[in-house]
């Protein structure tokens, strides 16, 4: 973990409460970082406190930067500090659940999807404080003469796709939102060596710079420390711009056991391409783009039109819950057309409802004329796998501009790179013309072919090079060797029929051992064999779809006596209208949210396509409806059990079931089985078995949460497999 002074950092507000009036468990987050060359190492210090008189399970889902990897987690519970270890996912979950059942404390760190991680703090006792340190690393890159360091701190609400089916999240991982939540955020990053000579600024936060000396690669170097200079919160991305830097190609070596790893960073040099552009522009006009986001998007569009000429052809489509073709046919951008579009754009509002991105892109792709697509959006969707498949089938490259203070960068970047396009970010205080000039240069650049690295000798393994090569934009390559080659590597490729090369200036050893683990992560991402991917995750101690991190505090006298109550840490709400003026946050960043950001109809629309089909027979709770997915307004037995699971209280769930419209069906099943299959079982145990059967049923409309499963496990207890089998077989007869 990074060791830095934290004397200047913000103190948590002890009086933060949820909308239910309960104290919020997350008290503050500190970010402590170190940047050497392009290698960033950062630790997030998350401080929690259980201010209640109950035992809690605290669950917090948070984002990490695009392209980063979580490396280490350690936690301090009371006076004990423990370090997490990587285990196979199911085994880590089993250890976590067993620890909770025994009354011990445990912390489980899981990977969701699209850069989201969840930390689960099980059995945090009353008044107990816990500090969790999350260390991650990434390799940054140049874009022209600048480096953009982005640290996401919040997950914005999503309005398209199901968070579990499309987003790959479990129920307990799914973010909640609270307009009254307020979490102090503080940051300190050391910039060492040549990188410290950059022109340093932040369009997202007020910062101050402290200059001094620091050690890098065993020698004293100039250092600049970046510190937040005013109160900040977890309500927007932190953005640091390092400009006026020469984008150079370089390569470093690092030991990896018996192997040597080379991490090469190439900065391609390409000519400016002046060929006419055929461009389909797709503008997000959903409710989440309301306020500052749509204004920023309109500025971007107007700036783009000024950069294009009459030789370029454009169309303009806007979307939300429906698609509107403002200029459907690809049209030469003559002066009259430009003026007409400018008038139209100035009148555009975010008034089209939900973020139905999939149908919108499909509509644009279906236009017969092939062209490049420019999508301008805040990325408020869960997952793009289906959308990406549609884009690949169309053969059209998608370029994206992520708009706002907390765009869904992982999602829209996946869409862009997956179709061999590129992504540009644009926040309210960044240079709009520069951003549009950058994306236009990429739009006009042909796709590279025959991209390969000459390492000087055959590697043991290598990570494939991305075919998305743009002028001055860093592309990383990695390979492993038994013995290092004698010369630096060279990247070669063909673009527009012309062969190009980029050669690393040197090949130097690095003491940053985490680079080997980052290379392992890249190998894992490109592994085609599931078994190999799992082996790599365990070898390099990585949290992945197949692995999690776990630590356990075995308690002696002070074991938890009851199952914990679930406390999901709600996200702060991003206010797109807030901005900085003289170092202060203006516009109510703490809590006032435009109604369009949380339109319940948009919320329902985003999930409408994922409801299961209705069965033809059986009790009402086996006939799912759209409302059956929303546990707060449903009397579905599994939804009721999920609510009881959150409270860790079987008895309250039993009472709620008895009051529900479906108790008649449940009671009938209990009475039918009690004399036979239920012999030797209490009614609560038999009811728990019925609920478990329902949860495993193919037509179940509600997914059972981990907390609800915990309740069932406690009630079912020592029931034998033979008893379970008899009960389940009887239920198949009662409810065929």
Structure pTM?
A: 0.88
Give residue 699's pLDDT: 61
**384 neighbors 160 (Cβ within 8 angstroms):** no
Q: Confidence band (pLDDT; 50, 70, 90) for 703?
A: confident
Q: Confidence band (pLDDT; 50, 70, 90) for 596?
A: very low
pLDDT in tens, 9-63: 333 444 455 544 468 999 999 999 999 999 999 999 999 999 999 999 999 999 9
CATH number given to 26-246+543-568? 2.60.40
Give residue 578's pLDDT: 60
pLDDT in tens, 554-587: 998 899 999 999 999 999 998 776 654 333 333 3
**585 neighbors 229 (Cβ within 8 angstroms):** no
pLDDT in tens, 231-285: 999 999 999 999 999 888 999 999 999 999 999 999 999 888 888 999 999 999 9
CA distance linking residue 80 with residue 130, whole number of Å:
10
Which residues make Cβ contacts (< 8 Å) with residue 5, sequence separation at least 6? 188
Give residue 700's pLDDT: 62
Q: What's the mean per-residue pLDDT of the chain?
A: 87
Give residue 274's pLDDT: 82
Extents of the domains making up the chain: 26-246+543-568, 259-271+447-504, 278-443, 611-734
| pLDDT at residue 120 is higher than 50 | yes
Whose CA is closest to 112, among 56, 179, 49, 61? 61
**3-state SS, residue 257:** coil
CA distance linking residue 405 with residue 403, whole number of Å:
7
CATH 3.40.50.410 fits 278-443, yes or no: yes
pLDDT in tens, 368-412: 678 999 999 999 998 888 888 888 888 899 999 999 999 999 889
CA distance linking residue 534 with residue 435, whole number of Å:
39
Domains 26-246+543-568 and 278-443 belong to one CATH topology? no
For residue 95, the surrounding DSSP H or E stretch is helix 89-102
Per DSSP, what are the bridge partners of residue 111? 117
Q: Which has the higher per-residue pLDDT, 612 or 321?
A: 321
498-503 sheet: strands from edge to edge? 449-454, 490-495, 498-503
């Amino acid at each position: 973990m990074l060791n830095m002074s934290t004397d200047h950092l913000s103190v948590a507000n002890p009086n933060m409460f949820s909308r239910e009036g309960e104290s919020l468990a997350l008290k503050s987050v500190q970010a402590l970082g170190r940047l050497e060359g392009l290698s960033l190492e950062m630790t997030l210090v998350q401080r929690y406190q259980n201010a209640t008189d109950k035992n809690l399970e605290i669950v917090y889902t948070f984002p990490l930067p695009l392209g980063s990897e979580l490396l280490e987690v350690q936690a301090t519970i009371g006076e004990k500090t423990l370090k997490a270890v990587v285990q196979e996912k199911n085994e880590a979950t089993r250890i976590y659940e067993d620890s909770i059942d025994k009354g011990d404390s445990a912390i489980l760190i899981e990977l969701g999807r699209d850069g989201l991680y969840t930390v689960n703090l099980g059995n945090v006792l009353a008044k107990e404080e816990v500090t969790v340190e999350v260390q991650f690393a990434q390799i940054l890159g140049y874009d022209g003469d600048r480096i953009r360091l982005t640290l996401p701190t919040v997950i914005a609400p999503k309005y398209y796709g199901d968070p579990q089916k499309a987003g790959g999240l479990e129920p307990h991982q799914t973010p909640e939102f609270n307009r009254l939540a307020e979490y102090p955020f503080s940051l300190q990053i050391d910039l060492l060596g040549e990188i410290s000579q950059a022109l340093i600024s932040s369009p997202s936060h007020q910062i101050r710079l402290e200059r001094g000396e620091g050690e890098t690669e065993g020698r004293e170097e100039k250092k600049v420390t970046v510190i937040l200079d005013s109160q900040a919160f977890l309500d927007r991305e932190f953005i640091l711009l390092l400009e006026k830097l020469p984008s150079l190609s370089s390569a470093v070596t690092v030991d990896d056991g018996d192997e040597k790893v080379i991490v090469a960073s190439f900065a391609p040099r390409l000519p400016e391409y002046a060929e006419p552009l055929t461009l389909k522009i797709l503008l997000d006009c959903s409710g989440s783009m309301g306020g500052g986001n749509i204004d920023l998007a309109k500025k971007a569009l107007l700036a783009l039109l000024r950069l294009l000429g009459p030789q370029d052809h454009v169309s303009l489509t806007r979307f939300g819950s429906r698609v509107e073709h403002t200029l459907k046919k690809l049209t030469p951008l003559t002066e009259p057309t430009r003026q007409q579009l400018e008038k139209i754009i100035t009148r555009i509002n975010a008034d089209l409802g939900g973020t139905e991105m999939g149908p919108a892109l499909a509509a644009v792709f279906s236009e017969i004329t092939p062209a490049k697509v420019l999508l301008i959006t805040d990325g408020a969707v869960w997952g793009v796998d289906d959308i990406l498949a549609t884009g690949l089938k169309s053969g059209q490259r998608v370029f994206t501009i992520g708009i706002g203070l907390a765009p869904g960068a992982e999602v829209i970047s996946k869409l862009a790179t997956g179709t061999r396009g590129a992504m540009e970010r644009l926040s309210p205080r960044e240079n709009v013309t520069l951003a549009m000039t950058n994306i236009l240069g990429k739009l006009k650049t042909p796709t590279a072919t025959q991209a390969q690295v000459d390492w000087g000798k055959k590697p043991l393994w290598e990570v494939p090079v991305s075919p998305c090569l743009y002028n001055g934009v860093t592309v990383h390559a990695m390979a492993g060797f038994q013995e290092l080659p004698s010369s630096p590597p060279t990247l070669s490729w063909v673009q527009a029929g012309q062969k190009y090369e980029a050669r690393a200036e040197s090949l130097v050893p690095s003491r940053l051992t985490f680079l080997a683990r980052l290379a392992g992560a890249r190998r894992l991402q490109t592994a085609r064999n599931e078994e190999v991917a799992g082996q790599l995750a365990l070898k390099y101690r990585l949290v992945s779809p197949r692995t999690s991190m776990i630590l356990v505090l075995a308690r002696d006298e002070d074991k938890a006596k009851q199952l914990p109550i679930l406390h999901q840490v709600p996200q702060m709400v991003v206010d797109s209208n807030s901005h900085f003026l003289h170092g202060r946050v203006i516009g109510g960043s703490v809590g006032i949210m435009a109604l369009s950001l949380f339109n319940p109809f948009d919320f329902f629309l985003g999930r409408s396509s994922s409801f299961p089909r209705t069965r033809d027979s059986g009790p009402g709770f086996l006939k799912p409806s759209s409302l059956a997915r929303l546990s707060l307004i449903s009397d579905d037995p599994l939804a009721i059990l999920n609510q009881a699971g959150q409270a860790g209280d079987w008895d309250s769930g039993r009472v709620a079931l008895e009051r529900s419209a479906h108790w008649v069906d449940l009671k009938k099943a209990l009475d039918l089985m009690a004399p036979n299959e239920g012999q030797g079982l209490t009614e609560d145990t038999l009811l728990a078995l019925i609920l478990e059967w329902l949860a495993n049923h193919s037509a179940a409309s509600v997914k059972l949460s981990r907390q609800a499963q915990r309740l069932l496990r406690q009630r079912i207890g020592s029931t034998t497999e033979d008893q379970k089998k008899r009960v389940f077989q009887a239920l198949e007869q009662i409810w065929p």
